[in-house]
Amino acid sequence: MPGEFAAVLMCAGLSVYSALRTHVTSPDLKVAIIGVGGLGHLAIQFGHAFGCEVTAMFSSPDKAEQALAFGADHFVDTTDLAARR
C-alpha cells in the first residue's frame, strides 16, 4: 500500500483502535459507533474484529448497507423519530 494511503489509515485507525482497545474489556460487549465516515467505518471493523455486537448510528439511511458490510450487526437511522421509542 502506498505511504500516502497508509498514513491516513494509520492516523484514523489508531484514533479509534486506541479507544476501543481501552474500553472493550470482553468480546461480549455491545458497542455503538456514531457516524459511518472516515473514523466510523474503521471503528465498526475493529469492534466487529474484537467480537463485539456493533450498532452503527448515522443520520442517513443511505449508510446502512455500507455499515452492515463493514461488520455492523445493527444500523440505527438517527433521524427516524419512531425508531427512538
Q: How far is CA 24 from CA 8, 18, 35, 75, in A?
A: 24, 10, 19, 20
- Across 64-77, average pLDDT: 96
**Confidence (pLDDT) at 25:** 87
**Confidence (pLDDT) at 13:** 83
Q: How many CA atoms lie within 13 A of 67 on its CB side?
A: 28
- Across 32-50, average pLDDT: 93
- Across 31-38, average pLDDT: 93
The domain spans of the chain are: 3-84
Residue 41, Cβ neighbours under 10 Å: how many? Answer: 21
Residue 83: band (very low, low, confident or very high) from pLDDT cuts 50, 70, 90: low
User: Which CATH architecture best describes the domain 3-84?
Assistant: 3-Layer(aba) Sandwich (3.40)
